[in-house]
């Protein structure tokens, strides 16, 4: 997992893969005033995403998830969002395995050792296939958020 800000990511850009670099450059240039909530493709078959406006929810209402073929960049445009994170391990119970069909795997909600990131506008987190994450949680109080999620194929 990587946690950083779009305002400072260039200081560490040498550690990012070419695809991750391309996605972060897109986020850096993103103008939320002109960008509609929609799906987009940055590189056919390997980098795609969407911009969405949603409400945060109680932690207990959100399902922890992971992906097998993609890493996720969760970028906050507006509002405040808490995202849970824990590395996969053999003790975490899988509830729904849709990796082959939809590249999603969902886990039980009571994750011992889960830590939380508190995102503010401009912050992003990158979750790898080994990372379980729980996005869209309330940070303080329920709020409307606008975010961009980019999926990058890892093979």
Domains of the chain: 2-153 (2.60.120.370)
- Check whether 64 has a pLDDT greater than 90: yes
- Check whether 141 has a pLDDT greater than 90: no
Q: Residue 43 has which token pair?
A: 């590189």
- Check whether 129 has a pLDDT greater than 90: yes
pLDDT interval class at 29 (50, 70, 90) = very high
What pLDDT was estimated at residue 53?
Answer: 97
What pLDDT was estimated at residue 85?
Answer: 98
What pLDDT was estimated at residue 9?
Answer: 96
pLDDT interval class at 155 (50, 70, 90) = confident
What pLDDT was estimated at residue 32?
Answer: 80
- Average pLDDT over the chain, rounded to whole? 95
What pLDDT was estimated at residue 3?
Answer: 97
- Check whether 115 has a pLDDT greater than 90: yes
The model's pTM: 0.95
- Check whether 5 has a pLDDT greater than 90: yes
What pLDDT digit, counting tens, does each position of 67-107 carry?
999 999 999 999 999 999 999 998 899 999 999 999 999 99
């Amino acid at each position: 997992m990587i946690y950083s800000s779009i305002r400072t990511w260039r200081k560490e850009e040498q550690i990012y893969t070419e695809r991750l670099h391309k996605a972060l450059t897109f986020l850096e240039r993103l103008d939320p005033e002109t960008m509609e909530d929609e799906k987009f493709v940055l590189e056919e078959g390997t980098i795609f995403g969407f911009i969405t406006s949603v409400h945060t929810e109680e932690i207990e209402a959100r399902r922890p998830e992971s992906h097998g073929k993609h890493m996720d960049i969760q970028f906050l445009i507006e509002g405040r969002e808490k995202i849970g994170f824990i590395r996969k391990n053999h003790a975490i119970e899988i509830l729904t395995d849709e990796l082959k069909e939809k590249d999603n795997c969902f886990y039980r909600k009571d994750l011992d050792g889960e830590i939380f990131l508190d995102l503010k506008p401009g912050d992003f987190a990158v979750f790898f296939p080994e990372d379980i994450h729980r996005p869209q949680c309330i940070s303080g109080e329920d709020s409307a958020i606008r975010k961009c999620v980019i999926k990058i194929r890892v093979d």
